[in-house]
């Protein structure tokens, strides 16, 4: 699945807005499994171990920069 598709799933599951301005990151492919009991911050931190990005909470959204 693409990073963008995964972000859409996270947005739906956690009812949050996630902004990813990087086209390069959006088309990246992901594989693996996540623990659905983790909160959104834990998920974003775990993913960042494998993908070189940073994230921050800004107002009511999470912004991922690459």
Q: What does the chain look like in DSSP terms, one character per residue?
A: -BHHHHHHHHHHHHT-EEE---HHHHT-B------TTS-HHHHHHHHTTTS--EEEEETTEEEEE-
Predicted confidence at residue 17, as pLDDT, reads: 98
Predicted confidence at residue 22, as pLDDT, reads: 85
Please say whether the beta carbons of 17 and 62 come within 8 A: yes
Domains, the chain, in order of start with CATH, read 3-65 (3.55.50.30)
The stretches in the chain having pLDDT less than 50 are none
Predicted confidence at residue 16, as pLDDT, reads: 97
């Amino acid at each position: 699945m693409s990073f963008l598709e995964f972000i859409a799933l996270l947005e739906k599951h956690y009812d949050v807005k996630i902004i990813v301005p990087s086209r390069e990151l959006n088309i990246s492919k992901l594989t693996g499994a996540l623990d659905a009991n983790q909160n959104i911050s834990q998920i974003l931190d775990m993913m960042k171990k494998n993908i070189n990005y940073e994230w921050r909470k800004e107002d009511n959204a999470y912004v991922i920069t690459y």
